[in-house]
Structure 1
Amino acid sequence: MPVNSRLPGFYKLSPGDRLRSASRAAGLADTDLSSLVPPDPDMLATADRMIENVVGTLSIPVGIAANFTIDGRDYLIPMATEEPSVVAAASNMASVARLHGGFHTSTDLPIMVSQVQVVGAPDPRGARMRLYEAEAELLALANDQDPLLVKLGGGARSIEVRIVEASEAVYVVLHLHVDVRDAMGANAVNTMAEAIAPRVAAIAGGRVRLRILTNKADRRLARVRAVFDRDALGGADVVAGIVDAFRFAAADPYRAATHNKGIMNGITAVVLATGNDTRAVEAGAHSHAAAGGRYTSLSHFEANADGHLVGTLEVPMAVGLVGGATKTHPAARAAVRLLGVASARELAQVIAAVGLAQNVGALRALAAEGIQKGHMSLHARNVAAAAGAEGDEIEAVVERLKTGGHVRLDRAEAILAEIRAGRS
């Protein structure tokens, strides 16, 4: 039967009633969607407070990356991801970096930027100058919106005014720079932008349209470097192969997209585990990769005088420890407790280190045995389970899949059938 997506009053229902209503509208039995319902009713209640029209939750595996030494301190790092080999690769490369002191990091102050767009200013460049002249007034107005943030040492710090020439218009765009302390900062900067917008419009002599943060968080960068031991990586040729892979990514946006995806495999997993905004961090990272006008590698690799691999990474990192899911989701709170970080800047440093480790892990596999050998070996368990294997059948199927060299669902199904036939 066709689905009817018209569900009047759906948002008013309880999660359980919504699930039943959706099941009926889709022509499904109530039990068809039961796997969406978490066993803990408190988790369902928490989810219902976080987003709209909640019917259940989706569980993502959380693994712990080991071996990380960052700025002289050891960390156990939670990573939430569905992709095999990510946690293993990060842990493995952290152990290689550990031989030369681990990861070394630095971060900018936690400055977020909101944009106030003015349309119709008759003299855009004159408006730009008038806004700079009113900087102190605008900053004071912005800071009046969040006295607690100011008390904690944060608040609006400065402005920047840009002239943006679009195809059929010229916009005056004011950037408000805000130190958001240990928050991701979206709510704070958006509130300030909306508060100053009428005054900005009056000074500029135009009309305000958009007033919202930018996810191009290039004033909030996290940087990391590490030395990866030549012999532990597999020798001088592997180091040369990794450097060649980096150069390929730096020169070719097609390769850079996959290269940077490997970095984000590590970064996004920690961002998600700690309840931060994965889309904001990813948008910032990819915009940074194109900051020079062409999409390129976020990381850089070279060999030092001793032949060891030196890896560096610089990436915007708008993450926080207060507000949002970081405080409301119990699993995110547990992940933050495990990490033991004391500030948003420390969290950003840890996340950047994981991104670099994950990147090296992928490049090492590409430069040595190829990405599929290790990845598909770990993926084999998923394939065995998808074929219907249970209990000790899973390992039996996995071993035969790995021996055959082709990890495919049809082979797993055939192997499982043989195993079960042999038992009958």
Structure 2
Amino acid sequence: METQERGVSIRRQMLSKKLPEPSSLQYLPYRNYNYSLVMGACCENVIGYMPIPVGVAGPLFLDNKEFHVPMATTEGCLVASTNRGCRAICLGGGASSRILADGMTRGPVVRLPTACQAAEVKVWLESPEGFKIMREAFDSTSRFARLQKLIIGLAGRNLYIRFQSGTGDAMGMNMISKGTEKALARLNEEFPDLQVIAISGNYCTDKKPAAINWIEGRGKSVVCEAVVPAKVVREVLKTTTEDIVEVNINKNLVGSAMAGSIGGYNAHAANIVTAIYIACGQDAAQNVSSSNCITLMERTGFTNDDLYISCTMPSIEIGTVGGGTNLLPQQACLQMLGVQGASQDNPGENARQLAKIVCATVMAGELSLMAALAAGHLVKSHMIHNRSKINLQDLQGTCTKKAA
């Protein structure tokens, strides 16, 4: 086509003739968009783009810096609640964070003629010599990919090999897949009977709940903590330290254990992760593992009335280059946080900083929602921010009648 926009327009016209309601595309915009950044990178068969409201939470005071966090969502109350949590953390002196680990994974499945031969390959891979050979092959494919370790699982004659590697500021799935492919080719030279079944054998694990990500970590592993003074708990969060700690124990810890949760020892980490991911050009489907989080709360301070809170997130899969981070609106959100593109001074630092921001914002969201539950304000808040005023009046009328 003369222009990419004209190509999109023609595709829309062709599609509209096949739809039950031909005018159904009229509210899906397509004009004035830079499709050159999309084609061959982010989407195929393009018919437009989806505008999603973007709110801002903050300032989030983290590691002695202020951040205004963009959140793309259609859930009323989410940004307001997270904003309240940010305020409580700020009034308490701010949050602190640390990166615990940084390594993306890919877990192919290979097959040997017999289980005993598969076991021999496992022993070789776990030897210093075998690992050295694999690392040299893997590292040769990229300036940033550096093989950190291998975790080997065996099921009969199937061998599952979990490659873990640093990936700089990229989320890194393509980078690590390329390195894994080269390493498997080298492994095949050592063991000619080895057959590669799939470059991904779900031992990674990507976009699915998995205990291995919860235990071993994937992407960035982050911990974040803060202390909220008793006065702030009362005046900003509208509850008491004792009550919010009690709810956290029985909901996030015991309740999640009763449900058999994997990595879900939190109130709504996925809400915040997904909203930031959409705003900042991440793969939104990776919220599955990235939302793994355990939220802990304790009474602390001289009078034991202050609130200590921490969020530990072992598998935040995130990057500041590649994919949707190349799109201009998403780049604008990354620039708001000061992490757009690759770090020139310390490769990987922008992605690690973004992961810490995600974890700290999750903590703010956890703090506010748990306070709302402890105070019994959850339903009323959603009726104000996520429902019509008529519904709120109906609710208040119902409550008045029940009270009477």
TM-score, normalised relative to structure 1: 0.77
1:15 pairs with one of 8, 17, 22: 8
Cα distance 1:89–1:158, how it changes in 2: closer, same or farther (>3 A)? same
Report the equivalent of 2:401: none
Cα distance 1:259–1:88, how it changes in 2: closer, same or farther (>3 A)? farther
CA deviation string 1:151-209 (max 9, x = no partner) = xxxx22333242333xxx34222222211111101110011111121222443542121
In 2: Cα distance, 1:228 partner to 1:18 partner: 54
In 2: Cα distance, 1:302 partner to 1:109 partner: 25
Q: Which is greater in Rg?
A: 1
Q: How does 1:281-360 map to 2 (within 5 A)?
A: 281-286=287-292, 298-305=294-301, 306-315=304-313, 316-327=315-326, 329-341=327-339, 343-360=350-367
Amino acid at match of 1:324: G
In 1: Cα distance, 2:397 partner to 2:386 partner: 8
Is the 8 Å Cα contact of residues 226 and 310 (structure 2) preserved in structure 1?
yes
Report the equivalent of 1:129: 123
Is the 8 Å Cα contact of residues 218 and 284 (structure 1) preserved in structure 2?
no
2:386 pairs with one of 372, 379, 382: 379
CA deviation string 1:115-160 (max 9, x = no partner) = 23221253232211212332212111111111x32xxxxx223332
Cα distance 1:407–1:345, how it changes in 2: closer, same or farther (>3 A)? farther
Is the 8 Å Cα contact of residues 135 and 158 (structure 1) preserved in structure 2?
no
In 2: Cα distance, 1:406 partner to 1:43 partner: 48
In 1: Cα distance, 2:100 partner to 2:375 partner: 36
> SS of the counterpart of 1:129?
helix
Is the 8 Å Cα contact of residues 38 and 44 (structure 1) preserved in structure 2?
no
CA RMSD of aligned residues (A): 2.6
Cα distance 1:56–1:309, how it changes in 2: closer, same or farther (>3 A)? same
CA displacement at 1:28 relative to structure 2: 2.5
Q: How does 1:87-236 map to 2 (within 5 A)?
A: 87-122=79-114, 123=116, 124-131=118-125, 132=127, 133-146=129-142, 148-149=143-144, 155-165=145-155, 169-204=156-191, 205-212=193-200, 213-215=204-206, 216=213, 218-219=217-218, 220-234=220-234
Of all paired residues, the percent bearing the same amino acid is 20
| Larger relative contact order (CA 8 Å, sep ≥ 6) | 2
The unaligned stretches of length 5 or more in structure 2 are 1-5, 207-212, 344-349, 399-404
In 2: Cα distance, 1:39 partner to 1:53 partner: 15
CA deviation string 1:52-93 (max 9, x = no partner) = 111111111101112310000011111111111111111111
> SS of the counterpart of 1:362?
helix
Amino acid at match of 2:226: A
Amino acid at match of 2:337: L
TM-score, normalised relative to structure 2: 0.81
Report the equivalent of 1:241: 243
CA deviation string 1:25-65 (max 9, x = no partner) = 12322x3311112342x345544552111111111110111
Cα distance 1:285–1:264, how it changes in 2: closer, same or farther (>3 A)? closer
1:370 pairs with one of 362, 367, 377: 377
In 1: Cα distance, 2:112 partner to 2:397 partner: 61
CA displacement at 1:333 relative to structure 2: 0.4
Cα distance 1:107–1:281, how it changes in 2: closer, same or farther (>3 A)? farther
In 2: Cα distance, 1:231 partner to 1:100 partner: 10
